[in-house]
Amino acid sequence: MPDRFFRASPPKGMTFEEQRAWMVRTQLERWAVRDSRVLQAMGAVPRERFVPASERSSAYYDGALPIGEEQTISQPYVVAHMTELLALQGDETVLEIGTGSGYQTAVLAMLASQVFTVERIASLSQRAATILAELKIDNVHFLVGDGSLGWPEHAPYDAILVTCAAPKMPAPLLKQLSDGGRMVTPIGPRGYQDLVRVVRKGDAFEEERLSPVAFVPLIGEHGW
């Protein structure tokens, strides 16, 4: 069995398009990402556009990368896995907390009807909005603020994806989930957490603890 924790980079000499196809094959399909729409989106979004120029040659490396402001763009596998857990069909309204580079946002935008994304650091939000506009992705709405409060004006959401980690489930986000809606979020102490999926069934919230992950903290009223 190959070691999942051996972090490979693409073979030298590949174009970005070839690196993207290599990433889908060796980092996603190989590790059981199965949703064909997710694989297609990951094969289409140019990750190299979302990383700083100094990191561009590592854009398809099998890991997280720095994006400035002490934040990171998540590992491709983590982006694909979390997206797959939302089980998007194409007609959903999605809330994302932690826009970061905008890469995950772009993947969601390809798979859902509308994406509302909240980021606390204005410069990251603005940069992400510029890149998405350049890529002609026009179904994303940006907000700068404390995402631990959600974005109540546009609730309820069919799916909520949180890309930073809270010590416990942020109550406002649960409240903004539609009946039947799915939320995927890292929960746990600083440094290491569990990926948790919540499915709302009326007033009940079914919670499933999945794999261990390590995300930057959700800084806010219902976070750290």
- Total residues contacting ligand SAM by CB under 6 A comes to 26
Q: If binding is defined by CB under 6 A, does position 186 make contact with ligand SAM?
A: no
- Asked if the peptide bond before residue 156 counts as cis, ω within 30 degrees of 0, the response is yes
Q: If binding is defined by CB under 6 A, does position 73 make contact with ligand SAM?
A: yes
- How far is 94 from 86, CA to CA, in rounded Å? 9
**Which residues contact residue 156 at a Cβ distance below 8 angstroms, ignoring those fewer than 6 apart?**
93, 176, 177, 178, 179, 181
3-class secondary structure, 161: strand
Q: If binding is defined by CB under 6 A, does position 72 make contact with ligand SAM?
A: yes
| Tokens encoding 55 | 């990191």
| Tokens encoding 59 | 């854009």
Least distance from ligand SAM to the Cβ atom of residue 24, Å? 16
DSSP conformation class of 181: E
DSSP conformation class of 24: I
Q: If binding is defined by CB under 6 A, does position 215 make contact with ligand SAM?
A: yes
DSSP conformation class of 48: G
Instruction: Detail the DSSP E strand segments found in 26-144.
Output: 65-68, 71-73, 93-97, 114-119, 140-144
Rule CB under 6 A: choose which of 97, 129, 173, 195 binds ligand SAM. Answer: 97
Rule CB under 6 A: choose which of 62, 84, 92, 119 binds ligand SAM. Answer: 119
The site string for ligand SAM over 121-150 (x = CB under 6 A, - otherwise) reads x--x---------------------xxx--
Known catalytic residue at 74: yes
Nearer of residues 181 and 220 to ligand SAM, judged by Cβ: 220
Footprint on this chain of ligand SAM (rule: CB under 6 A): 71-74, 97-98, 100-101, 103-104, 118-121, 124, 146-148, 163-164, 215-216, 218-220, 223
